[in-house]
Amino acid sequence: MISRETIDKIFDAARIEEVIGDFVTLKKSGSNYKGLSPFSNEKTPSFMVSPAKQIFKDFSSGKGGSVVSFLMEHEHYTYPEALRYLAKKYNIEIEETGQTDEEKELRSERESLFLVNDFANTFFQQQLWKTEEGKSIGLSYFRERGMEDDTIRNFQLGYCPNSGTALTQAALKESYKLEFLEKTGLTKVDGDRQRDRFWGRVIFPILSHTGRVLGFGGRVLKKDAKIAKYLNSPESEIYHKSKTLYGLFQAKNHLSREDECLLVEGYTDVISLHQAGVQNAVASSGTSLTVEQVSLIKRYTQNVTILYDGDPAGIKASLRGIDLILEEGLNVQVLLFPDGEDPDSYARRVSSAELKDYIKEEKQDFLRFKSSLLLDEAGSNPLEKSKAAREIVQSIALIPDALQRDAYVKECARVLQMDEKVLFSELAQIRKSKQKREQQDRRREESPKMEVVEEEQSAIPTSSETFKQEEALCWLLLNYGDRIYTFEADEEEVEESVAEHIITELAGDELEFENPSFQKILQHFVDAFDRDEKILKAEDFLKEEDAELLSVAVDLVSEKYELHNWSSRKIFIPEKDAYIKAYTQESVLRFKEKKIAQLIQEAQRKFNQDDDAQREQQMQMLNRLTTLRIKINKKLGRVV
């Protein structure tokens, strides 16, 4: 278990904007940073990072938290794993206290799979560089393909021996469990027989955008029609082919810097382009492009250029990719290499300057690419030309931005030499049909959900009406708990902090919050108050392992918008401090009034159920509560 002192050091050293900036493209926005949500598919940035508060808040998905909870949510780390990641990033030595047997057993299966993959990755590289078989077969192959040693090391390429059991035996000797070797797909198990999946193949490790080994691709070097040329790791808890882009770890900084992603098909395409100085390339790894892969690209840039072979298969893949990318709101261009060439062969055949010039000069806007392709097929046939126009408009209809759709329809009319009105009419029909289908799909999805919501709402007790008052008091505790004001208490004026005033007022009437998370926050303040410690602040909650409590705390201190600097225009906005005292007093009174209202309701219910002897007692209770409620409402300026 990581010691408390180490955890404190990690939180003190970690800068949330630096850490999240490794995963999300952030831009300065006032005193905060802003970017596209890494948790949802949004078009307008609503993901905020506050360096001052050391928190993040994603207003599109509702997620929020600290630098550690971001890593837990985004990278699926456990709490200790996230701390270890940060400790490594900031060169902090970890001190550990003794772990119980139960804690050792709780090490996640995911981490075990990653550890096995890390071992295999190191093993494959050692075999490539340090064994005669690896050097004569694997390393020779890579060098024959024009790969330089630095490139081979950068992409962590390796070799799996031809014996068929070398990796499995080495892993078992190092006490790695066969169970995890099988789950990652590194070992095939058939009864008592065990065999390496990638034997006799050169290895391409598939990394996450943070550099963790998710899986492997292996290429066979023998010419055998019965054996698949490429073999990938099977789907597992940590590897999902449709959610992975090969080369993203090496390319991610270049994607942001160049503000463009070059999308290719295979491992060697990425590697050859990278070696030629074109380092903003990633590959879909032989699978059809997916929404998840486009979402990965979207974290770094809005611009995608598809670089595929110029053969029919490459053209078909380009057309599929265009529509998917457009629908996700990205800009897309297409570049096809000469027939018989692919990005790998072309990058090796020409100089770096020629390659860059070719990409820059030959890439086409998707509309021109698709128009040229379809019109060539249509020839002079008017019916085929109309089909081509409809297919192009169908692609335009996928674009979320209305202004872009409008511009593309006008350009389409010019390129196809057709009437704009006809194309706009076709676009409207396509959009209308699309919206109708989406509405029907939403109704089908929401129908069972609405039934559940209605059941839950009917089960919520009246006491849930206190939620807003409890939320307001927690907001004051977290944001202004240490502010000192002169409050009125028992007809005397007392100088105390906002936190002291709230705690004293609630404790005097033995009041607690009904919302569990709000009550936990209140209790933290009460405990610190009882121990005569310093008044807690929002940052004291950042180290919480309780994800729900942390999320609630972050929600209460997050601000989606910042005020403009109105003073520069001689418009002066009142400081927040100007109303905090009054708001604190009002919030306490509103909370008490709502609690009293609940007690009155309960007393009225009992009055109607009790016999005559007990009704008098309930009536006295009702009178006392009503008098107290009138007194509080008078202070609030209300008339009941």
Per residue in 220-238, pLDDT tens? 988 775 778 889 999 998 8
Sign of CA dihedral 248, 254, 255, 260: negative
Give every CB contact of residue 166 below 8 A, 6+ residues apart in sequence.
Answer: 127, 160, 196, 199
- Residue 502: is its pLDDT beyond 50? yes
- CA–CA distance, 86 with 93 (Å, rounded to integer): 11
**Which pLDDT score, from 0 to 100, does residue 173 have?**
94
What does the mean pLDDT of the chain come to? 83
pLDDT-derived band at 465, boundaries 50, 70, 90: low
Total H helices, total E strands in the chain:
27, 18
Percent of the chain with pLDDT over 90: 30
Is the predicted pLDDT of residue 445 greater than 70, yes or no?
no
What residue type is assigned to position 562 of the chain?
Answer: E
Tens-place pLDDT, residues 160-209: 999 999 999 999 999 999 999 999 999 999 888 999 999 999 999 999 88
Those residues whose C-beta lies under 8 Å from the C-beta of residue 406, and which sit 6 or more positions away, are none
Kindly report, residue by residue over 329-339, the tens digit of the pLDDT.
Answer: 899 999 988 87
Closest Cα partner for 473 from 355, 590, 324, 356?
590
For residue 303, the model assigns a pLDDT of 93
The structure tokens 């570049």 sit at: 335
Give me the mean pLDDT over the 562-569 stretch. 48
CA distance 397 to 327: 9
- Comparison of pLDDT for 491 and 436, the residue scoring more: 436
Least Cα distance to 545 among 65, 148, 5 occurs for 65
Which of 437, 430, 337 minimizes the C-alpha distance to 392? 430
Higher pLDDT, 42 or 17: 17
Separation CA 339–CA 22 (nearest Å): 38
Which run of H or E residues covers position 55?
Answer: strand 55-58
pLDDT at 19 over 80: yes
What is the Cα–Cα distance from 55 to 75, expressed in whole angstroms? 17
Q: What integer is the mean pLDDT of 341-351? A: 92
CA–CA distances in Å: residue 511 to residues 141, 376, 504, 505, 611: 75, 78, 10, 9, 29
Beta-carbon count within 10 A of 406 CB: 15
pLDDT of residue 484 exceeding 90, the answer is: no
As a dihedral over the C-alpha atoms of residue 305, residue 307, residue 312, residue 317, rounded to 10 degrees, the angle is: -60
Residue 443, judged by CB atoms within 10 A of its CB (0-12, 13-18, 19+), counts as exposed
DSSP SS3 for 486? strand
Q: Is the pLDDT of residue 442 over 70?
A: no
User: What value, to the nearest 5°, has the Cα angle with vertex 89 and ends 84 and 92?
Assistant: 65
Contacts of 534 (CB under 8 A, 6+ apart): 528
In this model, does residue 286 exceed pLDDT 80?
no
Say yes or no to pLDDT of 443 above 70. no
For the stretch 384-431, pLDDT in tens is 888 888 888 888 888 888 888 899 889 888 888 888 898 888 889 888
Give the mean pLDDT of 520-524: 89
**Cβ-based neighbour number of residue 308 at 10 Å:** 24
User: According to the model, what pLDDT value does residue 446 have?
Assistant: 53
158-159 and 201-207 strand pairing: antiparallel
Identify the weakest region by mean pLDDT among 58-72, 259-273, 489-503.
489-503
State mean pLDDT over 449-465: 44
The pLDDT score that the predictor gives to residue 560 is: 58
Q: Give the pLDDT confidence score for residue 76 in this predicted structure.
A: 67
* AA identity, residue 144: E
Q: Which pair of structure tokens corresponds to residue 49?
A: 């990072």
| pLDDT at residue 263 in the model | 94
Angle at 288 between CA 284 and CA 292, to 5 degrees: 70
CA distance 146 to 272: 8
Query: What per-residue confidence (pLDDT) applies to 563?
Result: 44
Give the DSSP H or E segment for 562.
Answer: none
Strands 303-308 and 331-336: parallel
Task: Using the predicted structure, report yes or no on whether residue 304 has a pLDDT greater than 90.
Answer: yes
Backbone φ/ψ region at 372: left (φ over 0), alpha (ψ -120 to 50), beta: alpha
Separation of alpha carbons 283 and 271, rounded Å: 10
Distance from C-alpha of 467 to C-alpha of 591, rounded to nearest angstrom: 9
State percent of the chain over pLDDT 70.
87
For the stretch 113-144, pLDDT in tens is 999 999 999 999 999 999 999 999 999 999 99
- Residue 360, exposed/middle/buried by CB under 10 A (0-12, 13-18, 19+)? exposed
The answer on pLDDT for 282 being more than 90 is yes
How does residue 299 score in pLDDT terms, banded at 50, 70 and 90? confident
Q: Which of 599, 596, 582, 578 is nearest to 635 (CA)?
A: 582
Q: Give the type of residue at 405.
A: R
Question: Is it the case that residue 562 has pLDDT exceeding 80?
Answer: no
Beta bridge partners of 193: 190
Nearest C-alpha neighbor of 545 from the set 64, 15, 69: 69
| pLDDT of amino acid 467 | 82
CA distance linking residue 282 with residue 253, whole number of Å: 12
Q: What pLDDT, on the 0 to 100 scale, is given for residue 337? A: 86
Separation of CA 283 from chain center: 21
The amino acid at residue 599 is L
- Rounded to whole angstroms, the Cα distance separating 475 from 538 reads 10
